Structure 1
Amino acid sequence: MVASSQRTAESATYAVVGAGLAGSSVAWRLAQQGESVVLLERDVPASALGSSHGSARIFRYAYPDPFYVGLVADARRSWDELEAVAGKRLITPSGSLDFGSIRNPRGLAGGLETHGIEHELLSQEEAGSRWSQLSFDGEVLWHPGAGVIDAEGSVEAMVELAAASGAVVKTGWEVASIRRASSGYVVTSSTGEAVHAEQVIIAAGGWLPSLLADTDVSDAFAIPELEVMQENAYHFPYLSAADRGETPAGAATSWPTFIYKGERIQVYGLPGGRDADFAGQKVAEYMGGKRIASAYAQDGIIDPANRVRVTDFVREFTPGLEAASYAETTCLFTNVPRDDMIIDRAEGITIISPCSGQGAKFAPLFGELVYDLVAGSGIAGDRFRATGQRFERIPA
């Protein structure tokens, strides 16, 4: 367990704000390189109020952009390393199905082919005969290398590895401001505690919009436009008793993950894991929630209209599930334009926003990308720069 913060000043080369999947990865990789690191978390690592809690996130390779397919392959190698050094399985094999007219399974298959990722392009009939618990409305892409990420377990593993390598971890330490000092920066908590750091790395998820307002950054740094969404997720029970219960260690799940993008709705689903007693599939509408100003504005209230839309989808496309959810929750998506991510730096401030609902699969790779950026190697490249990341509309 990580000890809670004490009222003492700390000095470090790097202060990392946020102990979710991104921040814990950065702290681990920096500490692994022998750097002086303090990790600051407003609550606890993988907080239920953030975007990195629970046991059910999708690891998948299928992307319309081959760049991201290659990035997932890089991330898989990082996951293998993390699982090896942590001594625990963090991704349970499941395979993944992509279907729906907008999802374009054939186009996705081309990206997988480019990077040599195992896959099959199946007809509607072929997929239906193989996965009778699902219904399909056209071609289907199957790639068996996908899986289910234990997000909370991954955060805990990376925080423990960071601490073992010398990082100082402070929990219950809510950052109120980040200001320039005569040398480096002073990070101040809501209770008046202070940390001095040469560089600050902000990985605060849905709290980014509020936190950036109290951060000294260069005028030349194009702070990205961020959109925070409170999304809704539901767990629907498996009809087959054989599908219920925890997956044995090393075994694949009985249900695949899936992504459906059609004309009327875009939905993803995955085995719910321990989040809902291993009894059902977690299903949610992609970008189906409401815009909020920041994570501070979340209220945890399910949108009834969203529940109806998702339940209707389950009734039509998942005959292996009972079309009545037995558990439901809200979660945060922090979005940037183009469904991309932001990893950018100005002077001594680095912002990492592995967002738009896609960050979990890259978690252990983020620390490597950020270390490359702060070390000045430039390997992280320009793809994730904040410049030009603007929405066409202004979020509410």
Structure 2
Amino acid sequence: MPDAFSGSSDFVVVGAGLAGAATAWQLASRGHQVTLLERSAPAAHDGSSHGSARIFRYAYPDPFYTRAVLETRALWDGLAAASGTSLITPFGAVDYGPERNPRLLASVLAEEGIEHELLSAAEARTRWPQIAFDTEVLWHPGAGVIDAEGAVNAMVGLAVGHGARLLTGWELQGVERTDSGYRLRSVTGETLDAGNVVVSAGGWLPGLLGQLSLPAGFLAGLPEITVRQEQAFHFKYRDDDGGAGVGAAASGAAGWPTFIHKAADIQAYGLPGGRDAGFAGQKVAEYNGGKLIPSAFDQTGAVDPANRRRVVDYVRRYLPGLDPEPYAETTCLFTNTPNEDFLIDRVENLTVLSPCSGHGAKFAPLIGQWAADLATGTGSVPGRFRPASSIPATTWNGYQ
């Protein structure tokens, strides 16, 4: 029986999440022949790029990432203009907690000239009585919320507008080397030939790495990639003070900033939930609080009751402006590297791309630019994102 689909492309990008869509957009806009493969649909709900609520922020303890946010903001603005879509809603951000070190974050923002304030806990409670701050607080108003699904659709639309081909329902089984490049095969037997391949498979990547025909030495040089099935919960804004004295400040998303809080016993984050849960409340989650799974192939979509209890207890203690019973909940995937750096590495004509670690969404357009530069050989990627390439190829023979 002949393959259901066969063809060829100069560049094939596997995965139409934020990173893959951004890479396809960048490649297609430069005039390359591009095919974008997606196992289900762009911004799929069982991946890491679905929904309308991801935090956009500048505050990092590492100045490298803060400078990268400044660079990517210009790309976000260009994407919004090109697509005619509003993709980042301003809400500002607060960072606090004994393990968050707001003073260090403030020093990084000051060095980069980013507007911010360092407030005492009492000052912050006066401004946001719906939050029970336990340390001094960094506030930077330039932060906001990214519409992740809207961004994916905008980038895919622009890529297709530049001539890219989008194939949905195309689940990759493996990649084989050929005399002219690569042959990709789907789980249903479809094939596609490519001169260059970019694999941006998110939580599916650990389960695919052994099927990509990567040199053993390069594969051994990659960092350990782990996947967590995270949980996120939506809590309604109180429409009165609920006895907590929070008043109108807690009513509606307009009164709420995004936040990252590193307490002694939990690291939590929250943001206005947007259309994901009817614009009625704040999305709150424990960072890396979900269970480890081998890869996205093993996700269940079931919320962990123990994690729900931890987050509900957190809301009761620290967020008096919210009804502490979640009215909606979901799971999503975090794909992590040990040091939370991204992975954008290349060997021969195959690029492995995994933004990783729960903070890649805000960098999507820049990650796509980096990946396209690397895949075409027209630019460089920060060395910290190329761990396997830091190992001299001459030492790979021991892995063959």
Is TM more than 0.5 here? yes
1:188 match: secondary structure: strand
2:320 is aligned to: 319
CA distance in 1, matches of 2:4, 2:338: 39
2:52 match: secondary structure: coil
- On the 8 A contact 1:373/1:380 being kept in 2, the answer is yes
Matching residue's letter, 2:20 = G
- On the 8 A contact 2:121/2:135 being kept in 1, the answer is yes
2:235 is aligned to: 236
1:302 is aligned to: 303
Question: What is the CA deviation profile of residues 323-369 of structure 1, one whole-angstrom value per residue up to 9, with x for unaligned ones?
Answer: 11000111100001111111100111101110100010001111111
2:226 is aligned to: 227
The CA RMSD measured in Å over matched residues stands at: 1.5
Unaligned runs of 5+ in 2: 241-247, 391-400
1:220 match: secondary structure: helix
Within 5 Å, give how 1:97-246 maps onto structure 2: 97-221=94-218, 222-240=221-239
Runs of 4+ in 1 over 6 A off after TM superposition: 241-245
Question: What is the CA deviation profile of residues 73-125 of structure 1, one whole-angstrom value per residue up to 9, with x for unaligned ones?
Answer: 11101100000001010000000000001000000111111211111000011
TM-fit CA distance, 1:300:
1.1
Identity of aligned residues (%): 57
1:93 aligned onto 2:57: no
Matching residue's letter, 2:183 = V
1:383 is aligned to: 384
Flag the structure with higher helix content.
2
TM-fit CA distance, 1:208:
0.1
2:142 match: secondary structure: coil
CA distance in 2, matches of 1:361, 1:26: 14
2:362 is aligned to: 361
1:164–1:7 distance in 2 versus 1, CA, 3 Å: farther
- On the 8 A contact 1:244/1:279 being kept in 2, the answer is no
Q: How many residues align?
A: 378
1:383 match: secondary structure: helix
Question: What is the CA deviation profile of residues 194-240 of structure 1, one whole-angstrom value per residue up to 9, with x for unaligned ones?
Answer: 11111110100000011112110123312331100001110000002
CA distance in 2, matches of 1:184, 1:27: 18
1:339 match: secondary structure: coil
CA distance in 1, matches of 2:179, 2:98: 57
Q: Of residues 58, 62, 76 in structure 1, which corresponds to 2:73?
A: 76
- On the 8 A contact 1:17/1:23 being kept in 2, the answer is yes
1:207 match: secondary structure: helix
Matching residue's letter, 1:348 = N
Matching residue's letter, 1:60 = R
TM-fit CA distance, 1:378:
4.2
CA distance in 2, matches of 1:10, 1:114: 51
TM-fit CA distance, 1:316:
1.1
CA distance in 1, matches of 2:222, 2:64: 24
1:3 is aligned to: none
- On the 8 A contact 1:218/1:347 being kept in 2, the answer is no
CA distance in 1, matches of 2:132, 2:73: 30
CA distance in 2, matches of 1:83, 1:275: 20
CA distance in 2, matches of 1:353, 1:274: 27
Question: What is the CA deviation profile of residues 42-92 of structure 1, one whole-angstrom value per residue up to 9, with x for unaligned ones?
Answer: 000000010000001000011010000000111101100000001010000
CA distance in 2, matches of 1:111, 1:371: 29
2:211 match: secondary structure: coil
TM-fit CA distance, 1:263:
0.9
TM-fit CA distance, 1:371:
1.6
1:106–1:388 distance in 2 versus 1, CA, 3 Å: farther
- On the 8 A contact 2:370/2:379 being kept in 1, the answer is no
2:5 is aligned to: 8
2:185 match: secondary structure: strand
- On the 8 A contact 2:350/2:375 being kept in 1, the answer is no
CA distance in 1, matches of 2:121, 2:389: 40
- On the 8 A contact 2:346/2:389 being kept in 1, the answer is no
1:374 aligned onto 2:371: no
Matching residue's letter, 1:322 = D
- On the 8 A contact 2:14/2:38 being kept in 1, the answer is yes
CA distance in 2, matches of 1:98, 1:388: 35
- TM-score by length of structure 2 reads 0.92
CA distance in 2, matches of 1:227, 1:136: 32
CA distance in 2, matches of 1:184, 1:224: 25
TM-fit CA distance, 1:375:
2.5
1:54 aligned onto 2:51: yes
1:41 is aligned to: 38
- On the 8 A contact 1:135/1:319 being kept in 2, the answer is yes
CA distance in 2, matches of 1:373, 1:317: 44
Matching residue's letter, 2:295 = S
CA distance in 2, matches of 1:237, 1:8: 48
- TM-score by length of structure 1 reads 0.93
Within 5 Å, give how 1:259-298 maps onto structure 2: 259-298=260-299
1:170 match: secondary structure: strand
Unaligned runs of 5+ in 1: 1-5, 248-252, 390-396
